[in-house]
């Protein structure tokens, strides 16, 4: 079943004023947002409401208020047609004891309405794609944590959904496993046109694969937009590199009251919060016969800006 086409601005999934409380605890409060094609990171500290939101999207939880739209059409949780278009990978691995990956996935595909033959074919297809072809007949109790995570991704992909909701998918994986998983996410988005909501507290992974982010804190949205816009932070910072370091240029910057620091990557970071300061910097380049290799807006480390937003969200 294809996605409905009653959507604007290429928005795949959107939601308005989602609220959810557990007793007196507000897990989500008037949370509105949207997703377009590509990979969107869902960020927030523990308890921000990320898992609650994902469960609401797949009707495992009922929101207290708010509306969700798929392809521009309102979702009715009592008639969840949208579940055919969404694949969900939970935070924790889960399986039916006694099953192998292929029998487990075949069973899930049959629940989606596939015939036995179709379900068996699809299970083998997805397992080989994810790199679990060799382990497809092993008992799932014998699999490593990383292999179980791959099976969880397989079950999210088994019915070929257009949208993937992934809850902490790289947690517990070794460095090589994380690298392979992130490469798969990029491929699914670019080659297979999947729309992915990637919830993670591993900011390095979000920085690696996400184009846009949603930042939740105490159930409320602090930021929504391109990740490079988020990384600019609240200052006009630029990075430059020398072809050959020139102390006279650094002395000029100091005399022009342009502050600078050097980061661990060897880049020099300056704050140019006015056109006049940019002109002063370029004048210093000319006067000191300095050759710069690059001068670009500085993309601050995601973790640094993340912590800044949480401390002063306004």
What backbone torsions phi and psi does residue 263 show, to the nearest 5 degrees? Answer: -90, 180
- Residue 235's pLDDT is 63
Q: How many domains does the chain have?
A: 2
Q: Which of 122, 63, 45, 117 is nearest to 87 (CA)?
A: 122
Q: In this structure, what DSSP letter does residue 194 have?
A: -
CATH number at 276 reads: 3.30.70
CB of 54 within 8 A of CB of 36?
A: no
Q: Which of 181, 219, 223, 226 is nearest to 307 (CA)?
A: 223
- Residue 312's pLDDT is 67
- Residue 229's pLDDT is 82
- Residue 313's pLDDT is 59
Domain assignment of residue 283, yes or no: yes
- Residue 4's pLDDT is 39
pLDDT digits (tens, 9 = 90+) for 118-146: 999 999 999 999 999 999 999 999 999 98
CB of 71 within 8 A of CB of 37?
A: no
Tell whether 226 and 294 lie within a shared domain.
Answer: no
Tell whether 151 and 47 lie within a shared domain.
Answer: yes
Low-confidence ranges of the chain (pLDDT < 70): 1-9, 80, 233-235, 312-314
Tell whether 181 and 268 lie within a shared domain.
Answer: no
Domain assignment of residue 71, yes or no: yes
- Residue 6's pLDDT is 43
Tell whether 85 and 172 lie within a shared domain.
Answer: yes
Tell whether 59 and 161 lie within a shared domain.
Answer: yes
Domain assignment of residue 5, yes or no: no
- For 148-157, give one letter per residue: b (16+ CB within 10 A) or e: bbbbbbbbbb
CB of 252 within 8 A of CB of 282?
A: no
d(CA 108, CA 278): 60
Place of tokens 């979702």: 75
CATH number at 108 reads: 3.40.50.300
Domain assignment of residue 1, yes or no: no
Q: What is the domain range of residue 258?
A: 237-311
- Residue 298's pLDDT is 81
């Amino acid at each position: 079943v294809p996605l409905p086409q009653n959507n604007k601005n290429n928005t795949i999934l959107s939601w308005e004023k989602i609220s959810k409380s557990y007793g007196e605890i507000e897990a989500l409060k008037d949370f509105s947002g949207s997703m377009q094609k590509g990979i969107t990171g869902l960020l927030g500290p523990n308890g921000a409401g990320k898992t609650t939101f994902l469960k609401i999207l797949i009707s495992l939880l009922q929101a207290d208020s708010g509306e969700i739209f798929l392809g521009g059409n309102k979702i009715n949780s009592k008639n969840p047609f949208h579940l055919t278009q969404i694949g969900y990978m939970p935070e924790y691995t889960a399986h039916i004891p006694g099953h192998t990956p292929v029998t487990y996935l075949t069973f899930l595909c049959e629940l989606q309405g596939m015939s036995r033959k179709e379900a068996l074919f699809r299970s083998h297809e997805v397992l080989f794609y994810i790199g679990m072809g060799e382990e497809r007949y092993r008992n799932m109790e014998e699999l490593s944590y990383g292999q179980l995570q791959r099976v969880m991704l397989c079950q999210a992909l088994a019915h070929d959904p257009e949208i993937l909701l992934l809850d902490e998918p790289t947690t517990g994986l070794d460095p090589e496993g994380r690298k392979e998983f992130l490469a798969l996410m990029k491929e699914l988005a670019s080659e297979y046109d999947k729309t992915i909501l990637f919830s993670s507290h591993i900011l390095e992974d979000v920085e690696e694969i996400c184009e846009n982010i949603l930042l939740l804190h105490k159930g409320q949205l602090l930021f929504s937009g391109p990740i490079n816009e988020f990384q600019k932070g609240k200052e006009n910072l630029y990075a430059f590199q020398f072809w050959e370091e020139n102390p006279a240029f650094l002395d000029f910057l100091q005399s022009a009251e342009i502050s600078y620091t050097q980061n661990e990557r060897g880049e020099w970071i300056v704050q140019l919060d006015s056109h006049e300061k940019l002109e002063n910097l370029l004048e210093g380049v000319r006067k000191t016969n300095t050759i710069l290799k690059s001068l670009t807006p500085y993309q601050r480390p995601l973790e640094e800006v993340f912590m800044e937003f949480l401390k002063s969200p306004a």
